[in-house]
Amino acid sequence: MSVLTDLIYGGSNAVAGLTEGAVNDAIAKYGADKAIAFPDTAYFFPTIYAATGVKVKTLGDLVPCVSVLKSLITNQEDLGQALNAGLATAVGAEILEGLKWVDNAEPYANDSGIGFVPDPIIRSLGVPLVTGDIPGVAVVLGKADNAEDVVNVVKDYQSKGIMTFMVGDVIEQCAEGGVKMGLEFRVIPLGHDVTSVIHVVTVAVRAALIFGNVQPGDLGGLLTYTKERVPAFVNTFGAIDAVVVSAGAGAIALGFPVVVDIDLGENQVPGALESVCDHSLTVKKSLELRNIKIKVKELPIPVAFAAAFEGEIIRKSDMHNEFYSGKNPTAELVVMRELDEVEDHKITIVGPDLDGASELALATFVEVAGKKMQIDFESVIERKFHAWFNYMEGVMHTGQRNQVRVRVSKNAFEAGLRLKDFAEVLYVMIMDEFDAVVDKCQITLITDVEKAAAFRDEIAMPRYNQRDDRLASMTDEAVDRYYTCILCQSFAPAHCCVVTPERLGLCGAVSWLDAKATNELDPNGPCQPIFKEGCLDERTGRFESVNKAISDATHGAVENVTLYSILEDPMTSCGCFECICGIEPVSNGVIVVNREYKGMTPAGMTFGELASCTGGGVQTPGFMGHGRHFISSKKFLYAEGGIERIVWMPKELKDDVAERLNKTALELYGIENFADMVADETVTCDAEELIAWLTEKGHPVLGMEPLA
């Protein structure tokens, strides 16, 4: 037998033995009926569920799984068979890890890793993955002989936006080496036991179930999905034992190439298992194996610039400067000019720089001109400031328009970061991302308090007001076209969003104006116009042209969608929706739940469980994913009677949308403070109590027609 298959089987058999023993011990201790589950997932033991369709709910359910696992280990001298044994190791790892939760709600409390990744986080990764913001997923495992090597590799991935999961001592090595870690930095420590690598495997597996509509039990479909659509790969550091090798075989079976830093000689499998002993080549080789292309942006600024720094938080004690609308005037504005009114790349700073004072005003004023520029794109460009400022290491940005807070860290200041660098970032990024419409761009930054205030009050505010008036007048009736968005098809091949002025994309990131701009920037790209033709039903928002566009965009997978109904051919979901709404049958109403909410709902399901009812481009009447902003739209649930159907929302979501929701309710139905009639988790999560409360409040849903 070859050294490689020998090692794989050795590891798989060892894990199988451990797993069987652990399951038997747990049953002996707790009984076969003892419930078992990973936290905050609707997919049971995800690998087992996806591969076999079995829903593990109790310890007893694991017994047949152990038999399946053992049957995967044939011990035959054949690489394909050996890779299957690797899958057995994955299943064993899932069981061993799952058992950690038997009698412990937080088994990872004392580990520097996070363990299991909950469903909502996976959903939140949908958009950055499809836009290429996260171009790939690295799994870094083991213990580097020389800590500096793994630190450099992980920092390199971070600067490229690659999401990195770590297992083993590399976690401490990177922590000591100053790598910033956490979900927001896209470097995620999973755990120390090698079995914790399953927590990244289940991310890929659940992506297939959530976005790909892979059916539980369809192992072939699962492996095709992970291989073709999850751009993951593995790097091991240091010596590897049989268990690591068999886990690596599982990764290869899922389509994830493995790069090791020891010389495997003739045991290498080109394209799947390769040795790279020089760590300066690890990243390059890994990206090549997965054909991941990184768009590098060379920015002439003294700090790093990468999407991985977007979530960086700068505390007061680390802060050198703050521009904050609560203390000083701030404003951000993009204005369209005539070509001869703009001097390209002109940068003007009015007032003190970062060394002038710690608290400053900041008006960021960008004037653009271009033959194809449109006034509607001003706000599209302006909203990108937030991300671009955040991409600078040591800069934190929140808010927009005249409500802004920007912090600059001491480290960034000491590295030499100054205001002209902010302007450079804006210039380079605008010319890069909006080159199809912007020919010239000039930037003025005003930190002088009086001048910034004058700019805000006399130039920016009137412009915001004009835009708001235009947005308010922009209804579905007022435009001649809607747009498709198929960005998420790289994960959810059967899904297409229809974006209208009153209904933004379900991810919350694509408004009608964004879709329009995307189409202008890239005419053959993900957003295509749908001309409003052949209205079949105004109540549900059914159009011949929309049906045709959906059918074309999904290659026939979806043939009919309505724009405004949750019951009749509702719009499909990819899986990355901000919120989900669903029928609450007892009250005859609809509940709306946001992704961040972790608790129970009156429907008897959590967000994750509700979310698992739809997604992957499937239509599930009664459940629908949508953006936060859609909730206060006059078109929300229009066919079912509108927002009067809303009976329950998590408090955080309700507070966020209350003002707009109240405005819509007053306009449509003459109801004052409608949000106060909507229950939340502080009222009840029980359907019967909900009805009593709604009755007490005189909620309008009680007088509405029953939902079919």
Name the residues that contact Zn ion, by CB under 5 A: 126, 488, 574, 576
3-state SS class at 308: helix
Burial class (CB in 10 A: 0-12, 13-18, 19+), 402: middle
The sign of the torsion formed by the CA atoms of 12, 18, 24, 29 equals negative
- What the block records as the tokens of 638 is 């229009």
Q: Is residue 487 a contact residue for ligand SF4 (CB under 6 A)?
A: yes
The yes or no reply on residue 510 touching ligand SF4 (CB under 6 A) is yes
Closer residue to ligand SF4 in complex, CB, 56/506 = 506
Q: Which residues of 57-74 are buried (b: 16+ CB within 10 A; e: fewer)?
A: ebbebbeebbeebbebbe
Task: Indicate the residue among 229 and 654 with the shorter CB distance to ligand SF4.
Answer: 229
Contact flag: residue 553 with ligand SF4 (CB under 6 A): no
204 vs 190: CA distance, rounded Å: 14
Q: Is residue 485 near ligand SF4 by the rule CB under 6 A? A: yes
Provide, rounded to whole angstroms, the least separation between the CB of residue 540 and Zn ion: 23
DSSP letters for 525-585: SS--EEE---EEETTTTEEHHHHHHHHHHTTTS-----SS-SSSSPPP--S--SEEEEEET
Residue 574 interacts with ligand SF4 (CB under 6 A): yes or no:
yes
Could you tell which of Zn ion, ligand SF4, none binds residue 406, using a CB distance below 5 to 8 A set by kind? none
DSSP states of 354-397? TTT-SEE-EEEEEEEE-TT--TTHHHHHHTTHHHHHHHBTTEEE
Q: Decide whether 452 or 487 has the Cβ nearer to ligand SF4.
A: 487
Residue 566 binding target from ligand SF4, Zn ion, none, CB below 5 to 8 Å by type:
none
CB of 120 to Zn ion, least distance (A): 14
Nearer to Zn ion, 19 or 619 (CB): 619
200, 250, 487, 691 from 47: Cα distances, Å:
11, 11, 27, 39
Whole-angstrom Cα distance, residue 391 to residue 397?
9
Counting every residue written for the chain, the total comes to: 708
Please pick, from the candidates 493, 505, 541, 570, the single residue that binds ligand SF4 as defined by CB under 6 A. 505
Q: How far is the CB of 507 from ligand SF4 (least distance, A)?
A: 3
Tell me the Cα Rg of the chain.
Answer: 27
51 touching ligand SF4, by CB under 6 A: no
Q: Which is nearer to Zn ion, 225 or 422 (CB)?
A: 225
DSSP string of 417-482, one letter each residue? --HHHHHHHHHHHHHHHSTTT-SEEEEEEE--HHHHHHIIIIIIHHHHHHHHHHHHH--TTT-SEE
What whole-number distance in Å separates Cα of residue 259 and Cα of residue 440? 45
CB of 576 to Zn ion, least distance (A): 3
Smallest distance from Zn ion to CB 507, Å: 5
Of residues 82, 127, 209, 558, which one binds ligand SF4 by CB under 6 A?
A: 127
* Contact call for residue 517 and ligand SF4 (CB under 6 A): no
Position 208 contacts ligand SF4 (CB under 6 A): no
Which lies closer to Zn ion via its Cβ, residue 455 or residue 491? 491
How far is the C-alpha of 102 from the C-alpha of 61, rounded, in Å? 13
Q: Does 509 engage in binding with ligand SF4 (CB under 6 A)?
A: yes
Please say whether the dihedral angle defined by the alpha carbons of residues 16, 20, 21 and 25, taken in this order, is positive or negative.
positive
Residue whose entry in the numeric block shows the structure tokens 């035959």: 76
**Half-sphere exposure of residue 468, counting CA atoms within 13 Å on the CB side?**
7
CA-angle at 174, arms to 173 and 178, nearest 5° = 120
**Nearest CA-CA partner of 510 in 519, 272, 59:** 519
**Which of 144, 245, 506, 521 is close enough to bind ligand SF4 by CB under 6 A?**
506
678 touches ligand SF4 by CB under 6 A = no
Q: Binding of ligand SF4 at residue 494 (CB under 6 A)? A: no
Q: Does 507 bind ligand SF4 (CB under 6 A)?
A: yes
Stretch of residues binding ligand SF4 (CB under 6 A), selected from 362-370, 429-437, 498-506, 664-672: 498-506
Smallest separation, CB 368 to ligand SF4 (Å):
25
Provide DSSP, 94-131: HHHHHHTTTT-S-TTTTSSS--SPPHHHHHHTHHHHHH
**What's the farthest any 2 CA atoms get from each other in the chain?**
82
Shortest distance in whole angstroms from residue 158 CB to ligand SF4 = 24
Tell me how far, at minimum, the Cβ of 408 lies from ligand SF4, in Å.
31
Q: Contact region for ligand SF4 (CB under 6 A) — 107-115, 163-171, 485-493, 540-548?
A: 485-493
Question: Which partner from the list ligand SF4, Zn ion, none does 50 bind, CB cut-off 5 to 8 Å by kind?
Answer: none
Q: Distance (Å, rounded) from C-alpha 345 to C-alpha 604?
A: 57
Span interacting with ligand SF4, options 197-205, 326-334, 507-515, 583-591, rule CB under 6 A: 507-515
* Residue 488 in contact with ligand SF4, rule: CB under 6 A: yes
User: Would you say 62 or 507 has its CB closer to ligand SF4?
Assistant: 507
Name the residue nearer to Zn ion (CB basis): 115 or 128: 128
CB of 509 to Zn ion, least distance (A): 9
Residue 510, contacted partner among ligand SF4, Zn ion, none, CB below 5-8 A by kind: ligand SF4
Q: For residue 207, state whether it binds ligand SF4 (rule: CB under 6 A).
A: no
Any bridge partners for residue 589, and if so which? 584
Can you tell me the distance from the alpha carbon of 92 to that of 79, in angstroms, rounded to the nearest whole number?
20
Per partner kind, with CB cut-offs from 5 to 8 A, the member of Zn ion, ligand SF4, none near residue 610 is: none
* Partner touching 91 among Zn ion, ligand SF4, none, CB below 5 to 8 Å by kind: none
| Partner that binds at residue 83, options Zn ion, ligand SF4, none, CB closer than 5 to 8 Å by kind | none
Q: Residue 375 CB, nearest distance to Zn ion (Å)? A: 29
Binding site partner of 117, from ligand SF4, Zn ion, none, Cβ cut-off 5-8 A by kind: none
Closest approach of Cβ 203 to Zn ion, in Å?
Answer: 16
Alpha carbon distance 188, 163 (integer Å): 8
| Sequence-distant (≥ 6) Cβ neighbours of residue 237 within 8 angstroms | 140, 141, 142, 143, 144, 145, 149, 150, 170, 261
485, interface contact from ligand SF4, Zn ion, none, CB < 5-8 Å by kind: ligand SF4
Task: Identify what 611 binds: ligand SF4, Zn ion, none; CB under 5 to 8 Å per kind.
Answer: none
Residue nearest to ligand SF4 (CB): 505
Q: What is the DSSP letter of 302?
A: S
**Residue-by-residue DSSP string for 73-94:** ----S-HHHHHHHHHHHHHHHH
Nearest one of 202, 165, 196, 193 to 181, comparing CA atoms: 165
Number of shown-chain residues binding ligand SF4 (CB under 6 A): 14
Output the smallest distance, CB 383 to Zn ion, in A: 19
Residue 128 as a binder of ligand SF4 (CB under 6 A): the answer is no
113 interface partner picked from Zn ion, ligand SF4, none, CB below 5 to 8 A per type: none
Q: Which residues bind ligand SF4 (CB under 6 A)?
A: 127, 485-488, 497, 499, 505-507, 509-510, 574, 576
